A and B are shown apart, each in its own frame.
Chain A
Amino acid sequence: MSGKMRDPNQFCDGYSRRDMLKAGALAMGGMSLPQLLQAEAASGNGSSQKSLIMIFLSGGPPHQDMFDLKPEAPAEIRGEFNPIHTNVPGIEICEHLPLMAQRMDRMSLIRSVVGSVGRHASFQCMTGQSSRLQPAGGWPSFGSVVSKLQGSVEPGMPPFIGLTPRMKSSSWSDAGQPGFLGQAHAPFKPNADGAANLVLNGLTLDQLGDRKQLLSKLDRLRRDLDTSGAMEGLDAFHQQAFGILTSSKLADALDLEKESVSLRDRYGRGSAEPAGYGDAGPLLNDYFLAARRLVEVGVRVVTLAYGRWDWHGRPHGTNFENAREHLPMLDRGVTTLLDDLEERGMLEDTTVVVWGEFGRTPRINRKGGRDHWPRVSCATLFGGGLRGGQVVGSTNRLGEHAQDRPVHFQEVFSTLYRTLGIDVNTTTVRDLQGRPRYLVDQNVNQPIRELI
Chain B
Amino acid sequence: MAAIVSLGWPATHVIAQNPRDPARVNFPGMRHFRPVYDVAFSPDGKTLASASLDSSIKIWDLATLKATATLTGHGDGVGAVAFTPDGKMLVSGSLDSSVRTWTTSPAATAGTLAGHGMYVVAIAVSPDGKTIASGSYDKTVRLWNIGGGTRATLKGHTDTIYCVAYSPDGKTVASGSHDGTVILWDAVTGKSLHQLKGHSGPVECVGYSHDSRTLVSGGEDRTVRFWDADSGRQTRLIESAHEKVVKSLAVSPDGKTLATGGGDANITLWDFATGDPRATLRGHFNVVYAVRFSPDGKTLASCCFDNTIRLWKVKTGKSISPSEK
Contact = CB atoms under 8 A, between A and B. Distances in A.
Interface of A: 4-8, 80, 98-99, 190-191, 195-196, 198-201, 203, 205, 208, 245-248, 251-252, 254-257, 265, 268-273, 275-276, 278, 283-286, 315-318, 321, 324-325, 328-329, 331-332, 366
Nearest to A282: B11
B185 interface: no
B6 A271 contact: no
B261 interface: no
B79 A315 contact: yes
Contacts of A5: 8-11
Contacts of A276: 34
Nearest to B3: A247
Nearest to B121: A315
A384 B106 CA distance: 59
Given A191-B8, A324-B286, A317 B3 contact: no
Contact of A8 (B4, B11, B15, B77): B4
B7 A203 contact: no
A198 B2 CA distance: 11
B3 A200 contact: yes
Nearest to B12: A269
Nearest to B6: A8
A339 to B, nearest CB: 13
A270 B14 contact: yes
Given A7-B10, A275-B34, 8 more contacts: A5-B9, A80-B244, A270-B15, A271-B14, A315-B79, A315-B137, A324-B285, A324-B306
A254 B4 CA distance: 10
Interface stretch (B17-25, B169-177, B250-258, B275-283): B17-25
B10 A324 contact: no
B5 interface: yes
In which size bucket is the chain B interface? 35 or more
A272 B17 contact: no
Contacts of A269: 12-15
A332 B15 CA distance: 10
A292 B138 CA distance: 48
A190 B7 contact: yes
B19 A316 contact: no
A198 B4 CA distance: 9
Given A8-B9, A256-B6, A268 B16 contact: yes
7 contacts: A198-B7, A199-B5, A203-B1, A268-B14, A315-B95, A315-B119, A317-B35
Given A8-B9, A268-B16, A203 B3 contact: no
A201 B4 CA distance: 5
A315 B77 contact: yes
Interface of B: 1-20, 33-35, 53-55, 77, 79, 95, 119, 121, 137, 178, 244, 285-287, 305-307
B12 A328 contact: no
Contacts, number: 140
A269 B79 CA distance: 28
Contacts of A278: 34, 54-55
Contacts of B285: 324
A157 to B, nearest CB: 14
Given A317-B35, A321-B287, A270 B4 contact: no
A271 B35 contact: no
A265 B8 contact: no
A328 B4 CA distance: 32
Nearest to B20: A98
Contact of B2 (A6, A98, A208): A208
A5 B13 CA distance: 14
A416 B11 CA distance: 32
A205 B2 CA distance: 9
A199 B6 CA distance: 6
A328 B35 contact: no
Given A196-B8, A272-B10, A321 B3 contact: no
A331 B121 CA distance: 32
Contact of A198 (B1, B5, B9, B77): B5
B35 to A, nearest CB: 6
A196 B17 contact: no
Contact of A254 (B5, B15, B33, B119): B5
A325 B55 CA distance: 19
A332 B4 CA distance: 28
A209 to B, nearest CB: 12
A8 B121 CA distance: 38
Nearest to A7: B10
Contacts of B34: 273, 275-276, 278
Contacts of A203: 1-2
B7 A254 contact: yes
A7 to B, nearest CB: 5
A85 to B, nearest CB: 16
Contacts of A255: 3-6
A268 B286 contact: no
A379 B191 CA distance: 55
A70 to B, nearest CB: 19
Q: For A255, A256, A324, which residue has the most chain B Cβ atoms within 10 angstroms? A: A324
B9 A256 contact: yes
Given A273-B34, A317-B53, A321-B35, A332 B6 contact: no
B17 A329 contact: yes
Nearest to B244: A80
B4 A246 contact: no
Contacts of A265: 15-16
A325 B286 contact: yes
A318 B33 CA distance: 17
Nearest to B21: A328
A430 to B, nearest CB: 33
Contacts of B3: 200, 246-248, 251-252, 255
Given A199-B6, A199-B7, A256-B6, A270 B12 contact: yes
A195 B305 contact: no
B9 A284 contact: yes
Given A98-B20, A99-B19, A328-B17, A271 B8 contact: no
Contacts of B286: 321, 324-325
Contacts of B11: 5, 271-273
Contacts of B8: 4-6, 8, 191, 195-196, 199, 272
